[in-house]
Amino acid sequence: MNILEQIYEINFNKINFYERKVSIDYKNTIIVGPPKSGKSYLIYDYLSQFQAEEYIYIDFKDYKNDTSFTQKDLENFIKKNNIEVLVCENFDFSIGLPQNVESIIITTQISQKLDDFESIYLDGLDFEEFLLFDVKHQNSSNSFNSFLKYGNFPEIIEYSESKRATRNLEICKLYCEDKTQQEILLLLIKNGGEKKSIFQLFNSLKKEMKISKDKFYKTCEIFEENRVVYFCEKYQQPKAVKKIFIHNHALLDIVSYKKNFNNLFKNMVYLELNKRYENIFYLDNVDFYLSNENEVILAIPFFNSLISATIISKLLPIMDIYDLQTITIVTVSSEQSLFIGELEGNIIPFSSWAVSL
């Protein structure tokens, strides 16, 4: 019982945190998300409504914690101290949960389903949340530059600029169990924003290292299930090659000397859409198509008159086919209107577009 008594002394009421758009609203909740996505701070927010003696917080990956205690040990300790909330960070599901506690909050990287538990998925910050966290900058333009360059991990804002890229890569490696998984993830990141099949990627990696097809495909499935990587389908063509997007756009720039600003920008736009829409596809010559909204979104960092003519020629033939109602062109800084036939398209800077969704 000694280790539980030591853990019980931890008080989180004095920790500062910023509110997210999601919150814990159900007494039994599983929070799923990749490392450093902000799961712990979501818990600190929840615990702020309780007195320190009303909860116990156990991190099963904290080396200081000897988690050899049993489910029965937990039940006895909770009963003895009248504990209302049990928090299990990085929970070891083999231990079993006590039955005599009013509220249980669990965090995990891998999706789990438990009866009478609500699930929350938490990923990195969207741009609107980033603006709340980024207290160092006083305007959205400076915040946009920081968000673009260093990405959406909440903790990265607190690091000095010289250490942010290194820390991003360190966090990236936390998703992997071994060197092989690391190599697969790095390959996926290097192809962020591209249209590639899993088979193409497998053949590419097979030239560099010994790896089985089953291992490669299974690892890609795990990364997709845990929302570390997204595979965007072509509309009504699920067997076509998919576009690859990474859960933190800034990773694209720190794994390769070959820079592709367009892919990074498209990835950043996709993540904003993914926070708000379920059905996101791509079309020929169209970055994103929201089928339920009859809207197309083009991610074009630097817009000019030459691009304008090209866009009109590509979109006019599909206007009626997809019954398009809205056309949005997201840029770095341009803001104007563009008529495609009789439909007015909106050209808008990312920093304005992202907070208006």
H, E, C per residue of 73-90: HHHHHHHHHCCCEEEEEC
- 5 class by beta-carbon count within 10 Å (0-12 exposed, 13-18 middle, 19+ buried): exposed
Integer-rounded Cα radius of gyration of the chain: 23
* Residue ranges of E strands in the chain: 28-32, 55-59, 85-89, 103-108, 118-121, 195-196, 229-232, 242-246, 280-283, 286-290, 295-299, 326-331, 336-340, 343-349
Q: Fold for domain 2-121?
A: Rossmann fold (3.40.50)
Buried (b) or exposed (e) across 167-205, using 16+ Cβ within 10 A? bbeebbeebbeeebbebbbbbbbbbbbbebebeebbeeb
Q: What is the rounded distance in angstroms from the CA atom of residue 71 to the CA atom of residue 12?
A: 24
The answer to whether 2-121 and 127-260 have equal CATH topology is: no
**In 3-state terms, what secondary structure has residue 117?**
coil
pLDDT 10s digits, 45-102: 899 889 999 999 988 888 777 677 778 888 999 999 999 999 999 887 877 888 889 9
Q: What are phi and psi of 40, to 5 degrees?
A: -65, -40
Find the angle CA(173)-CA(256)-CA(351) to the nearest 5 degrees: 85
In CATH terms, 127-260 corresponds, of 1.25.40.20, 3.40.50.1260, 2.40.50.840, 1.10.10.10, to 1.10.10.10
- In the chain, where the domains are located: 2-121, 127-260, 276-357
Contact call for residues 120 and 38 (beta carbons, < 8 A): no
DSSP SS3 for 207? coil
Q: What is the pLDDT along the chain (357 residues), one digit of tens a residue?
A: 578 888 888 777 666 667 788 999 999 999 998 888 889 889 988 998 899 999 999 888 887 776 777 788 889 999 999 999 999 998 878 778 888 899 999 998 877 788 899 999 998 999 999 998 887 766 778 899 999 999 999 888 888 888 988 898 898 888 898 999 999 999 999 999 999 999 999 999 999 999 999 999 999 999 998 889 999 999 999 999 999 999 999 999 988 888 899 999 999 999 999 999 999 999 999 999 999 999 999 999 999 888 999 999 999 999 999 999 999 999 999 999 999 988 999 999 999 999 998
Contact 104, 97 (CB under 8 A): yes
Nearby residues of 267 by Cβ (< 8 Å), 6 or more positions away: 192, 193, 245, 246, 249, 252
Query: What pLDDT does 135 receive?
Result: 77
pLDDT tens digits, 217-232:
999 999 998 889 999 9
